[in-house]
Chains A and B, each alone.
Chain A
């Protein structure tokens, strides 16, 4: 059971440079989305969301069927589907493949699933060279950090921090112009693409009826990673399936707009196996590593399995007032923001980070923007119930439970409720009706102290509503 990382969170909150970076970048992403949705081309956006939800629901509810169909069709195209129960199996497969093929250098395009299974670390432990090629991922790889955001991994870095990083790790002269920084990365990575033995990509969608992998990007590094090396490996969670290529008509329309405000990202690759006879280039070998790693556990909960509909757009992060303050590194796992808050407890158990489902004011902005209509606030509430139940089973959380029991008792007994209400002004009234800045020592504890650390307390009313009401009745 991990405690709430209060000190770490407060450090983030008091770092004004970081606060500005997070606020501005998420703000820009929100604005881009808003603009895209305001376009006449997106008039049917709500219909597409409904459709996307319906298709995902159907796919997840019939997942076994689609997994088999995917395998059948991918195999027919000359590719191979590798089933990985967990992170170790996925990494072991790749390690063996590399060994068999005398492969050493690996280029990678962005994949949250590979972050989830710590793939880079596992491969590097076996002396393989793994180079991230997405600019944001490249930056955080150099910085030895986890991604800060699902779509924009280096969202927290300013150009000055990138300049320092490049100078330190790449030995280049200090460069603060963003365009020039990008060109430095481009030059370095080009050389890697063209000499790599293996290209590892993620997958945004797995298409069952075509036996294909769809990768969506803006830079071109996924195209290069999947086309230049002899061997391509796509690593994807099994929930990425959609039934038909035609379903892309729904999903591509909501993904780009929700993530970065683009009707389509620059490159959408539809890859279905190694290159075929007659094709001039493309990989000779093609593997899809399909990862479980706990997804079947999430699948087992009827009400919460909708968490698997996620298409990793990042919109919930951008709109979450909590994410916009605490940033991506205060979440316990690689997935941050509202989606991270609902899937981490489902993968790891609610008692791992019991504070996480409570790190939300339940404003509902996340559910409102989710392109596949996951009911995030509803799941957060259900997880909170799971936490209290688990605490009860394990004999912990007694004080809070007792407090709520007492509270519920009071609320069922109106006369007692009224009496308790009359006691409050006697204890903590300022008399002048002014809001209260601080309280004497015995009262200035626990939740009251925490409230007062941020804002003033209202004075309890001298007379409650029911007292005023009775007086009002008497007058008339």
Chain B
């Protein structure tokens, strides 16, 4: 195929996707950047004006309660812990399900994706109910079967945060499991056979064969999973009922939502969102560089 037609071919492949994205994402993005330098709020909703980096100064230095850095730290913890468990559990379950000798795999697979399949709103509130001190199933199990004292989940900041994390882990591992299952299919069985012949241990097989070979498919999921988890407003909001207790259970996005949208501070919200965006961008660039995720196949 000559150069010209291969270029055309590429264009046909890539162009439609980009045109759509251009209209639907980039314009709002630019709009957001502009608003973040403006004073758009309740009093200036139609006649807003550019006022410079004032909103950004507020984001970083305004003495909010809790302050930006505490929430930022919480968001990092939220993201890292969630992703860690999502990936580890997902890969672990995929490995279990990928074994030839296991019976009833379709049934297990189907039941295990239910957390992904069910609408989040009601199940998040069900989890909130399970964390209730007096009537929730979790405390009932803890006190009856583990003989430990009941935990006041939703009343104290640390426990409430933990409750949100547990709920999100439950919601997120099926997705990683499906990705991992798919990724495992690309590994030729002969590699494992050869390793067995060489007397390799399961750890060796895992770290030398499995993990490197599922990486190209897991990396997009992990990168985007990180981004999505970082920005996942719903679960934290629902399980903690909007940041309770006392606005302590927040990650950056729920913080944006509350501090800004409740009080119509659109300029401030835009600036805070830009900050979130830059944080995520820097992370992704770094992560992709480390995993060399943008290279094409024939370069590797």
Tell whether A pairs with B: no
